[in-house]
Structure 1
Amino acid sequence: MATEKSDVTTSMEVDDQIGTNAKFSINGLIEAIKILADAAWITFWGLHSLSVMLDLCVDSRRYCSARLRRLYKSLKFTHGRGRYTKKSITLPTVTEVRFLHLVLYTAERAWSHAMEKRQLPDGPNARQRSYLIGRLRKAVKWATLFAELCAIKGDSRTSLEAEAYASYMKGNLLFEQDQNWDIALKSFKSARQAVMAEARSQQAASMTEFHWLGHRFHISNAKTRVSILKAQELEKELHDRIEGALPAEKRLPVFDKIFAAYNEARASIRNDLATAGNSENIKDDLSGLDKAIGAVLGQRTIQRNQLLVSIAKSKLCKARDEKNEEVTKPEELVRLYDLLLQNTSDLSDLLSSGRDRKEEEVALSQECEFKSLIFRAERCFFLAKSYSSAGKRTEAYSLFSLAHSLAADALKKLRSVTNHDQVMTKEVETLYNSCRSNSCIEHAMGIMENEKVPEDLSKKISNVSISRSDKKVAPRIAAYQPGFQAIARNPIVLDLAYNSIDFPSIESRLKKDKKGFISRLWG
């Protein structure tokens, strides 16, 4: 946990900052409260080595003590050199944000000391347990004072976060006193959820406009404001996770929450559109806000699908491991790039649907055009990979050549822009080189396979005998020439036209003939 605190407090080096307003906006402190609380949960649930837990608690206590010494000295709030004179931190004392830091670190030091006793290898004995509960009471006392001071001296967000931190300390004390972690856990979760919901509502009340690509849209519906604010907080969380190098698979659920929040906002906007009546100004504002949120959704969808592509690419060349993890096939990447092409097309259509387009909209449309070119080249590349894996060298070579041409076109257009994206340009250059090398490989493989076919065939035929007496050779080929044999002929077709012929009369010829004996008998 000491490492977590070190990372947090490096961003909290505000010893030289002096508050000029009555209300302190201490965003660094808010983040400190969150991460300190998260680190505490990890200490309880995530670690299984008692020695590691003990080391973390000791380091945390030492760090808090050192930090407190620095704060007391910089604030000139020492307790005297000779005789100890206790100085209390009260409301008039808090003239700058560092006095709030003093209270926070004192509470955190008491908590760490209690956890140090709790994580002893053989467990705390009765005396140590009594001391542990006493230190937790101290932590609750200082956390409660911290919440009271922040309620007056801090802004609304700081006040609510401090209240959640105090609830967390109370949950720890409840657990140690009653040995019922379920009660403590429910107490902390309910308090934190209530505090965060209230904080979001207060922030939403002050949120009157939505800014998007140079446009400002008025938000009158409270439900829409809360949904947009929730989505923006999730986007900030997503950015923090990317900066913290969190695995890609664990960032996907955050995208799903962002989509749900923005879809809730769009549903509220469309309900307002249905009940707007004949007011054209209100309808225009609502339509513009709906378009803006739709465009943000389109951008996040592209980012999510690009994240899926990066996950699939990481598994493309992996062998199947012991867990029988599925290996990505090139066809899956082709499908993902089909989705990305559809996403960029939809976003481009949405951006081109307005009339008064800002420079930011034009720039985003141009970015969509570049991405579309790159996605087409990538899709063609992985389609060629799928043909290559099937042994179809001609088709693979043709597709690699086409992907090479598309990558060259995208690279040319990217470089023509003054402030082009360096990361995107580097990715296209890598694709360009990969297409070139793979097309050469497919060409060479095709020639080798064509040369090898006659050679293999000649070897096989050289071992084949057409002699029937050679029984050692299993295969036979037909003898040349084949022997003669009778074959069936077509049936004879009768001349059916005979019955339709009219023959000439020969009666005149019969009268001239002499009648014979028999003819006379018959008259």
Structure 2
Amino acid sequence: KILWRISEMDPEVTPEPQKDDENPSRVHMSSLLLFVRQSQAEHGLKHNDYTRYRHHCTRQLRKLYSGLGLQHGRGRYVKKDISPDHCFSDRHLHVLLISAERAWSTAMALKHRGQGMSSGERHYMLMRFRKAELWSRKLADAALRRYEPKIALEAEAYSSWITGNFLIETGKDMRGSLVSLLRAKAVLEELVRSRNMENLGVCKQYLEELHPKIRFCRYEMERAGNQGDQTDGDDLGSDLKALVTELQAQGEGEVRSRASSGAVFDWRGMSFPIVHEKVSQSISAADGAFQSAKDCASAGDAGALQKFDRAVQLYNEGLHAVEAADSTGELVTEAQEDAQLLRHAVKGKAAEAKLARVEHLVQLSVQQMRLKQMRALGWRTASADASQDPGPASSKKKRKQRPARAEDLVRLYDSMDVVLRELSEVANNLPAAQNEQLVEECSVRATLAKAGQLLYLARAGIHRQKFASAVEAAKSALSVAREGAGQAEGTAGVADVARALATMQQESQVVMVEAVAEWHRIASAKSDAVSVAGLSISVGQEQAQEQAPGDKAHSWKAFVRAGAVPALPDTEPTPVTMPMRPFTLDAALNYVQFPELQHLYTEPKEAKSSLARLFRWS
């Protein structure tokens, strides 16, 4: 079905607007100045391309006229003006705003051509500025009568800014230009004081652009001899003052409602009431995701890792929102000086989420390794019985998956150490009490990470049959774990770390016993193989020559023993420096004189003319 508007069937007939004079309610819409800045940045003015921006404004006006039924006729031109009584939505106000922007961009394109303008072009430029000033005045009147206070004040600031620029270009009424610019400055300052998060940054940008223009107007007035003319421009009028009062009341109410709605970020005894909507949403969502991830991890849910990743992502988004709001001057907390501390607190909470994720991965990997050892023992027992299968089909499917290895846990503990260093850097920017507590906790956890690295390096050495290195790594892990247990006794909030360090001490001793037992098992198996092969080596003598893995870590053993029987070393020798002969250059070829060979070939002679041969010219 095709629906035709009345205005499209007959350009002379216009739908009668529905008036609500008995209950005139104000229209709510988004920020006007922010809409202007975004349109300018996205359509050419980032590179001072005013012609492109004018074309964009023309296209937008065509769409708005078509959508609102404001075409000016198909044959005969019929002007259809927009009055404040006909403004019922944000699109009606956008028609006035974009019309002013189109006229202003046309004038600015002429001004920035780069070569001198003729008198006709300058007259056309001033007419376009004048047109923009008229459209902006209509915009301010419509916003004052039909729209909410914030939009009315923004429209008034925009209109005063356009009027001031127009009067500066004419150069005839500097006092009027100064009054308009000061009026725009006063309105923008009131908008900044209203604590409205949506347009705070763009209002500050307009204020920065107004200061040089105000100084220029005062300089021109001083040159004209008007030094004693005191122009403040702070009188906003009764209508605008009432709007300012209403807007301030709305801003204070929004701040109180946000502070009382639970939008408070707590971390390590510090509390930050957040008044920025985007920051509050990101941090609240991140806190919920982090708590859900911890609950899933404690319950053993398989989706805990994805929830940890989501929590870290949301904390990073909240951190970017805090930095963006701080760079534009927007208010994030009730106290502006707490914004920097809030940034470090959010960064620390994100680091804690990363640390919890790594700890959960370590726990899962340790469980997989223990399950692998238990299954290996069960399979070995089952394989001894020829009448019993190695295991059910489901076990075979699980064995096809890659199990966790000791090297994986070494990498995980290394990642934990990196996150702890990041958390220590955050602690340096916190107050004294939080700094001391967090630094002590990070130190204890870093000891746990170091002990875990050494412990699973020892397990990796056993798997690669490097038993001497495994024993040394297990001894180091035991000493580091004991040192960390002593640190954890006087530190609050590290009870889980103390339990983990106690478990790690026991595992370090077990690893040392396993390394020695595996070495004896392999050594006895090697002796049996040599005896079966018929080699003339006494098993007792061979065992007498062997040393314990912990004692032969730094000793040498000959590759060829007595009886010219080769034997591979059990441990890799320690690399040492060896003396080398100096590099020599055989330069005898430089002193050899080769015989002359020029007599073996004749030089080609140049062809001479008859006159040259006659007169013997060279």
Give me the TM-score of the superposition, normalised by structure 1: 0.45
Give me the TM-score of the superposition, normalised by structure 2: 0.39
